[in-house]
Amino acid sequence: MRGSAEPPAKRLRTPRAAGAAGILSALLLGGAMVMVRLAIPVHELDAAEYLADTSGHRALRVALVLLPYGGIFFLWFMGALRDYVGAREDRFFATVFFGSGLLYVATLLIFGATSGAYMDTLSAMKDTTQPVDLHHYGRYLTIALLAEYAPRMAGVFTMTTTTIASRLGLFPRWLTVLGYLVGLVLLLVVRTVAWTEMLFPVWVLIVGCFLIVFHSRRRMMAA
Protein backbone atom coordinates (compact mmCIF):
# COMPACT_ATOMS: atom_id res chain seq x y z
CA MET A 1 0.00 0.00 0.00
CA ARG A 2 1.23 3.45 -0.86
CA GLY A 3 -0.37 5.29 2.04
CA SER A 4 2.24 4.45 4.66
CA ALA A 5 5.11 5.59 2.45
CA GLU A 6 3.86 9.14 1.87
CA PRO A 7 3.69 12.10 4.21
CA PRO A 8 0.09 12.86 5.22
CA ALA A 9 0.29 16.33 3.67
CA LYS A 10 0.84 14.94 0.19
CA ARG A 11 -1.94 12.39 0.52
CA LEU A 12 -4.32 15.24 1.26
CA ARG A 13 -2.94 17.61 -1.39
CA THR A 14 -3.21 15.25 -4.35
CA PRO A 15 -7.03 14.85 -4.32
CA ARG A 16 -7.43 18.62 -4.05
CA ALA A 17 -5.12 19.09 -7.05
CA ALA A 18 -7.18 16.56 -9.02
CA GLY A 19 -10.39 18.29 -7.99
CA ALA A 20 -9.15 21.77 -8.94
CA ALA A 21 -7.85 20.55 -12.30
CA GLY A 22 -11.11 18.73 -12.97
CA ILE A 23 -13.19 21.82 -12.24
CA LEU A 24 -11.07 24.07 -14.48
CA SER A 25 -11.07 21.47 -17.24
CA ALA A 26 -14.84 21.00 -17.03
CA LEU A 27 -15.52 24.73 -17.20
CA LEU A 28 -13.20 25.32 -20.15
CA LEU A 29 -14.24 22.24 -22.14
CA GLY A 30 -17.91 22.74 -21.34
CA GLY A 31 -17.77 26.38 -22.38
CA ALA A 32 -16.01 25.47 -25.63
CA MET A 33 -18.60 22.77 -26.41
CA VAL A 34 -21.49 25.17 -25.82
CA MET A 35 -19.94 27.73 -28.17
CA VAL A 36 -19.33 25.12 -30.85
CA ARG A 37 -22.92 23.92 -30.62
CA LEU A 38 -24.18 27.50 -30.93
CA ALA A 39 -21.84 28.20 -33.84
CA ILE A 40 -22.64 24.96 -35.71
CA PRO A 41 -26.40 24.29 -35.50
CA VAL A 42 -27.71 20.75 -35.35
CA HIS A 43 -30.09 21.25 -38.28
CA GLU A 44 -28.54 22.09 -41.60
CA LEU A 45 -28.75 25.69 -42.73
CA ASP A 46 -28.33 27.20 -46.15
CA ALA A 47 -24.60 27.49 -46.82
CA ALA A 48 -24.75 31.14 -47.85
CA GLU A 49 -26.76 31.98 -44.72
CA TYR A 50 -24.26 30.24 -42.46
CA LEU A 51 -21.22 31.77 -44.17
CA ALA A 52 -22.72 35.23 -43.68
CA ASP A 53 -23.28 34.65 -39.93
CA THR A 54 -20.20 36.31 -38.43
CA SER A 55 -21.45 35.84 -34.84
CA GLY A 56 -21.27 32.06 -35.27
CA HIS A 57 -17.74 32.37 -36.62
CA ARG A 58 -16.67 34.45 -33.61
CA ALA A 59 -18.17 31.94 -31.18
CA LEU A 60 -16.29 29.11 -32.87
CA ARG A 61 -13.00 31.01 -32.70
CA VAL A 62 -13.48 31.68 -28.98
CA ALA A 63 -14.19 27.96 -28.48
CA LEU A 64 -10.95 27.11 -30.28
CA VAL A 65 -9.06 29.36 -27.84
CA LEU A 66 -10.58 27.64 -24.79
CA LEU A 67 -10.23 24.10 -26.10
CA PRO A 68 -6.45 23.51 -25.73
CA TYR A 69 -6.40 24.94 -22.20
CA GLY A 70 -9.27 22.66 -21.27
CA GLY A 71 -7.26 19.74 -22.64
CA ILE A 72 -4.20 20.78 -20.62
CA PHE A 73 -6.15 20.92 -17.37
CA PHE A 74 -7.76 17.59 -18.23
CA LEU A 75 -4.29 16.02 -18.53
CA TRP A 76 -3.47 17.49 -15.12
CA PHE A 77 -6.71 16.01 -13.80
CA MET A 78 -5.69 12.59 -15.15
CA GLY A 79 -2.20 12.84 -13.68
CA ALA A 80 -3.42 13.89 -10.24
CA LEU A 81 -5.99 11.08 -10.18
CA ARG A 82 -3.38 8.52 -11.18
CA ASP A 83 -0.97 9.80 -8.54
CA TYR A 84 -3.74 9.56 -5.95
CA VAL A 85 -4.45 5.93 -6.84
CA GLY A 86 -0.72 5.16 -6.97
CA ALA A 87 0.49 1.60 -6.51
CA ARG A 88 -3.06 0.39 -5.88
CA GLU A 89 -4.06 0.77 -9.53
CA ASP A 90 -4.90 -2.28 -11.62
CA ARG A 91 -2.64 -2.41 -14.69
CA PHE A 92 -5.42 -3.35 -17.09
CA PHE A 93 -7.81 -0.60 -16.02
CA ALA A 94 -4.93 1.87 -15.63
CA THR A 95 -3.94 1.26 -19.27
CA VAL A 96 -7.50 1.81 -20.51
CA PHE A 97 -7.83 4.88 -18.26
CA PHE A 98 -4.60 6.38 -19.57
CA GLY A 99 -5.22 5.49 -23.22
CA SER A 100 -8.83 6.68 -23.39
CA GLY A 101 -7.96 9.96 -21.67
CA LEU A 102 -5.13 10.68 -24.10
CA LEU A 103 -7.28 9.73 -27.10
CA TYR A 104 -10.02 12.05 -25.86
CA VAL A 105 -7.63 14.99 -25.64
CA ALA A 106 -6.05 14.09 -28.99
CA THR A 107 -9.47 13.98 -30.68
CA LEU A 108 -10.35 17.39 -29.24
CA LEU A 109 -7.08 18.85 -30.52
CA ILE A 110 -7.70 17.34 -33.97
CA PHE A 111 -11.17 18.87 -33.86
CA GLY A 112 -9.65 22.24 -32.96
CA ALA A 113 -7.04 22.11 -35.71
CA THR A 114 -9.61 21.00 -38.30
CA SER A 115 -12.11 23.67 -37.30
CA GLY A 116 -9.42 26.36 -37.28
CA ALA A 117 -8.28 25.40 -40.78
CA TYR A 118 -11.91 25.32 -41.93
CA MET A 119 -12.56 28.84 -40.63
CA ASP A 120 -9.33 30.21 -42.08
CA THR A 121 -10.15 28.70 -45.48
CA LEU A 122 -13.62 30.25 -45.48
CA SER A 123 -12.15 33.62 -44.54
CA ALA A 124 -9.64 33.43 -47.38
CA MET A 125 -12.37 32.78 -49.96
CA LYS A 126 -14.01 36.10 -50.73
CA ASP A 127 -16.85 34.77 -52.89
CA THR A 128 -19.29 33.01 -50.52
CA THR A 129 -21.07 31.32 -53.43
CA GLN A 130 -18.08 29.04 -54.04
CA PRO A 131 -17.28 27.24 -50.77
CA VAL A 132 -20.70 25.51 -50.42
CA ASP A 133 -19.29 21.99 -50.59
CA LEU A 134 -16.50 22.99 -48.23
CA HIS A 135 -19.09 24.31 -45.78
CA HIS A 136 -20.99 21.01 -45.73
CA TYR A 137 -17.80 18.95 -45.38
CA GLY A 138 -16.47 21.12 -42.54
CA ARG A 139 -19.81 21.04 -40.73
CA TYR A 140 -20.15 17.25 -40.89
CA LEU A 141 -16.51 16.71 -39.92
CA THR A 142 -16.58 19.00 -36.88
CA ILE A 143 -19.87 17.55 -35.62
CA ALA A 144 -18.55 14.00 -36.05
CA LEU A 145 -15.39 14.75 -34.06
CA LEU A 146 -17.20 16.66 -31.32
CA ALA A 147 -20.39 14.61 -31.01
CA GLU A 148 -19.27 11.08 -31.90
CA TYR A 149 -15.59 10.20 -31.61
CA ALA A 150 -14.45 12.35 -28.67
CA PRO A 151 -17.51 11.51 -26.49
CA ARG A 152 -17.04 7.78 -27.00
CA MET A 153 -13.47 8.01 -25.73
CA ALA A 154 -14.84 10.11 -22.87
CA GLY A 155 -17.35 7.35 -22.14
CA VAL A 156 -14.60 4.76 -21.88
CA PHE A 157 -12.61 7.08 -19.61
CA THR A 158 -15.65 7.71 -17.40
CA MET A 159 -16.47 4.02 -16.95
CA THR A 160 -12.83 3.05 -16.36
CA THR A 161 -12.27 5.82 -13.81
CA THR A 162 -15.50 4.86 -12.05
CA THR A 163 -14.47 1.20 -11.93
CA ILE A 164 -11.04 2.00 -10.47
CA ALA A 165 -12.43 4.46 -7.91
CA SER A 166 -15.30 2.20 -6.82
CA ARG A 167 -13.01 -0.82 -6.38
CA LEU A 168 -10.71 1.21 -4.15
CA GLY A 169 -13.60 2.76 -2.22
CA LEU A 170 -12.82 6.28 -3.43
CA PHE A 171 -16.28 7.00 -4.84
CA PRO A 172 -19.57 6.71 -2.94
CA ARG A 173 -22.34 4.58 -4.41
CA TRP A 174 -24.23 7.52 -5.96
CA LEU A 175 -21.13 8.74 -7.81
CA THR A 176 -20.38 5.21 -9.02
CA VAL A 177 -23.91 4.82 -10.43
CA LEU A 178 -23.71 8.26 -12.02
CA GLY A 179 -20.36 7.44 -13.65
CA TYR A 180 -21.64 4.24 -15.23
CA LEU A 181 -24.80 5.95 -16.49
CA VAL A 182 -22.83 8.83 -18.03
CA GLY A 183 -20.37 6.38 -19.60
CA LEU A 184 -23.13 4.29 -21.17
CA VAL A 185 -24.92 7.34 -22.56
CA LEU A 186 -21.68 8.67 -24.07
CA LEU A 187 -20.95 5.30 -25.65
CA LEU A 188 -24.42 4.45 -26.97
CA VAL A 189 -26.61 7.55 -27.26
CA VAL A 190 -24.36 10.54 -27.91
CA ARG A 191 -24.67 10.50 -31.72
CA THR A 192 -28.46 10.47 -31.76
CA VAL A 193 -29.20 13.11 -29.09
CA ALA A 194 -27.77 16.62 -29.48
CA TRP A 195 -25.82 18.18 -26.60
CA THR A 196 -25.28 14.77 -24.96
CA GLU A 197 -21.50 15.31 -25.11
CA MET A 198 -21.98 17.94 -22.39
CA LEU A 199 -22.50 15.11 -19.89
CA PHE A 200 -18.76 14.51 -19.76
CA PRO A 201 -17.62 17.96 -18.56
CA VAL A 202 -20.56 17.93 -16.12
CA TRP A 203 -19.35 14.58 -14.73
CA VAL A 204 -15.76 15.87 -14.48
CA LEU A 205 -17.06 18.96 -12.65
CA ILE A 206 -18.99 16.78 -10.17
CA VAL A 207 -15.96 14.53 -9.56
CA GLY A 208 -13.71 17.57 -9.07
CA CYS A 209 -16.08 19.13 -6.55
CA PHE A 210 -16.47 15.81 -4.74
CA LEU A 211 -12.70 15.33 -4.39
CA ILE A 212 -12.24 18.81 -2.94
CA VAL A 213 -15.22 18.68 -0.56
CA PHE A 214 -14.74 15.09 0.61
CA HIS A 215 -11.04 15.39 1.30
CA SER A 216 -11.43 18.80 2.93
CA ARG A 217 -13.82 17.13 5.38
CA ARG A 218 -11.37 14.27 5.79
CA ARG A 219 -8.60 16.71 6.61
CA MET A 220 -10.76 18.48 9.18
CA MET A 221 -11.60 15.14 10.81
CA ALA A 222 -7.93 14.13 10.84
CA ALA A 223 -7.02 17.40 12.53
Average pLDDT, stretch 60-89? Answer: 86
pLDDT digits (tens, 9 = 90+) for 192-216: 888 899 999 999 999 999 988 876 6
Distance between CA atoms of residues 183 and 186, nearest Å: 5
Model's pTM, two decimal places? Answer: 0.81
Work out whether the CA dihedral 89, 202, 150, 76 comes out positive or negative. Answer: negative
| Residue 131, SS3 per DSSP | coil
Task: Give per-residue pLDDT as tens, 111-165.
Answer: 888 888 777 776 666 555 555 666 667 777 877 888 889 999 999 999 999 999 9
Q: How high does pLDDT run on average in the chain?
A: 80
Residues 6+ apart with CB under 8 A from 50: 56, 135, 139
Q: 150-167 and 91-124 are packed helices; what angle lies between their axes, rounded to 10 degrees?
A: 160
pLDDT of residue 57: 73
Confidence of residue 104 (pLDDT cuts 50, 70, 90): very high
DSSP secondary structure code for residue 6 in this structure: S
